[in-house]
Amino acid sequence: MLDLTLAQNELAEGGYSYVLVKDEKVISTSCDKGIQPLMDILLDEEKQMQGSTLADKVIGKAAAFLCILGEVKQVYAQVIGDCAKDVLEHHGIEVEYNRIVPYIMNRDGTDKCPLEKLVDHVEDPREAYEAIRDFMTKSVGA
């Protein structure tokens, strides 16, 4: 429980978009928006994620799948999508949140987040990861 409290406090006080805590130590933070910071830590420091606690401003289903692949044990979200909560809990990850919404919106609030649309009917974390990776690669190349 100490990891969760530390992660929540750092997220609130540090101005971060996410905070990753393990064994009562902050092991990673980011101020960047979107899912890219989670993709980066999954690629660069996957072992660090194992058994860790993630506090994030927004967790949608796509981010939830990355948490599952990284074997995160706890997730705290200021805002979480309903499907994200269900997916995390189905995979045995403890979830706490401030606010739950039907789904995550895009940045300008006019439609569903494109990554939410992308993984809407996906159930397999590895399949979701590959779809997210391909989407991000195309987005960067555009």
Would you give the DSSP letter of residue 106?
P
Domain count, the chain: 1
Residue 130, amino acid: E
Predicted TM-score (pTM) of this structure: 0.94
Q: What is the pLDDT of residue 25?
A: 97
Residue 76, amino acid: Y
Instruction: Please report how the helices 36-44 and 61-69 are oriented relative to each other, as an axis angle in degrees rounded to 10.
Output: 10
Q: What is the pLDDT of residue 116?
A: 96
Q: What is the pLDDT of residue 44?
A: 85
Residue 55, amino acid: A
What CATH number did the domain enclosing 135 receive?
Answer: 3.40.140.30
**For residue range 108-133, what is the model confidence (pLDDT) as tens digits?**
999 999 999 999 999 999 999 999 99
Q: Which of 20, 25, 21, 7 is nearest to 63 (CA)?
A: 20
Domain limits for position 104:
2-141
Residue 141 pLDDT grade (very low, low, confident, very high; cuts 50, 70, 90): low
Give the β-pairing of 53-59 and 74-81.
parallel
Could you tell me how many residues make up the chain? 142
**For residue range 25-81, what is the model confidence (pLDDT) as tens digits?**
999 999 999 999 999 999 887 788 999 999 999 999 999 999 999 999 999 999 999
Q: Which of 2, 125, 7 is nearest to 76 (CA)?
A: 7
Task: For residue 17, report the phi and psi dihedrals to the nearest 5 degrees.
Answer: -90, -30
Alpha helix ranges (H) inside the chain: 2-14, 36-44, 46-49, 61-69, 82-90, 114-118, 125-141
Under 8 Å CB-to-CB from 85, ≥6 apart: which residues?
64, 95, 97, 100
